[in-house]
Structure 1
Amino acid sequence: MAASPPVCDFGWQAPDFRLPATDDHSYALNDLKGENGLVIAFICNHCPYVLAVIDRIVRDASDLSALGVGFAAICSNDAESHPADSFENMAKMAREKGFFFPYLHDEDQRVARAYGAACTPDFFGFNADLELQYRGRLDASRARAAPEDTRRDLYEAMKQVAKTGEGPREQVPSMGCSIKWKE
């Protein structure tokens, strides 16, 4: 079922957490941020919306890293109902897709609930003070990738955040599969 998150709540403070990652480390929020900000992306392995843009997510994470913006992905889906989203399959996807950023496992779904994550993908862009400045889409892609020359909404927004500390006032929400909550 497709879902879309609410609009950006500018200035909302990122809740802290510590989660295990597919690289055999665990990370807290402050471990992830760059000097100019942080993007937290709620993704999963099975969602066609994520699969359509996963290579673009990796590209944008790399390009944002060069701007001093940290990046991490979190999978919060119930792996019992969706085995493709198990920790083992997360590690496999991270290897196959060349994730250089942490891919975190939110098994008890506390972090997704604290952030109000609604769908996969769901992007939260924070400034250097970890205040929310972007809650929008990666680009105009949906369950199929948009053309290559499509505007890079997340990248452009976070480039602005890196320079000014503030995100664009006009943002288009992401769309994707709903988070698969545990019963």
Structure 2
Amino acid sequence: MPVVPPVCDFGRPAPGFSLPGTDGRSHTFRDVAGPKGTLVMFICNHCPYVLAVLDRTIRDARDLQAMGIGVVAISANDAEAYPQDSFENMKAMAAEKDFPFPYLYDEGQGVARAYDAACTPDFFGYDASGGLQYRGRLDASRREAGPADLRRDLYEAMKQVAETGHGPKEQIPSMGCSIKWKPA
């Protein structure tokens, strides 16, 4: 059953993190932050919702980076229960798809909990000072990619953040597979 995250909590500060990346380095929020804002994406390797829009996500990340938006992806899924989401498989996907952003592993799931991440994909768009301005969908795609001419909701919202410091008041939440939490 798909999960829909809550609406944007405007201005909520971005939680800090320090996580290992598939590039062999550790990254913090400050490291990945852009001069005009930052996009934090919770994704994973196996989710059909992520895979359906992965090429569009990469396209939008490149376009946003060109505008001064920093971009990072984090996987927090339980890799024991979902081996496709292991750190080794994350490295392979990042290399195969030539991710233009760091792909980080939240093995302890504390960062996902701090962000209140609910699903994959889950997009958090921050302004230049680290205040939340967007928590919505990439576009109207769901479990399958929609038509190529869909409105680029995430891109347009983050472009607005880069230009004005504020996200759109009306936002449509993302939808995807639930984060695969480890047993308590």
Deviation sequence 1:112-171 (CA, Å, 0-9, x none): 000000000000000000100000000000010010000000000000000000000000
Quote the Cα distance in structure 2 between the aligned partners of 1:33 and 1:56: 21
Q: Which position in structure 2 is the counterpart of 1:26?
A: 26
Q: Which position in structure 1 is the counterpart of 2:178?
A: 178
**Aligned amino acid, residue 76 of structure 2:** S
Quote the Cα distance in structure 2 between the aligned partners of 1:37 and 1:146: 27
Runs of at least 4 residues off by over 4 Å: none
Report 1:98-137 matches (<5 A).
Answer: 98-137=98-137
Quote the Cα distance in structure 1 between the aligned partners of 2:29 and 2:8: 19
Quote the Cα distance in structure 1 between the aligned partners of 2:166 and 2:125: 10
Quote the Cα distance in structure 2 between the aligned partners of 1:84 and 1:2: 19
Aligned residue for 2:41, secondary structure, equals strand
Q: 1:74 deviation in Å?
A: 0.2
Query: Structure 1-normalised TM-score?
Result: 0.99
Quote the Cα distance in structure 2 between the aligned partners of 1:133 and 1:44: 23
RMSD of aligned alpha carbons: 0.4
Q: 1:65 deviation in Å?
A: 0.4
For structure 2, the 5+ residue unaligned runs are none
**Aligned amino acid, residue 95 of structure 1:** A
Quote the Cα distance in structure 2 between the aligned partners of 1:29 and 1:3: 26
Report 1:23-172 matches (<5 A).
Answer: 23-172=23-172
Q: 1:100 deviation in Å?
A: 1.6
Quote the Cα distance in structure 1 between the aligned partners of 2:96 and 2:78: 22
Q: 1:39 deviation in Å?
A: 0.3
Quote the Cα distance in structure 2 between the aligned partners of 1:8 and 1:100: 26
Query: Structure 2-normalised TM-score?
Result: 0.99
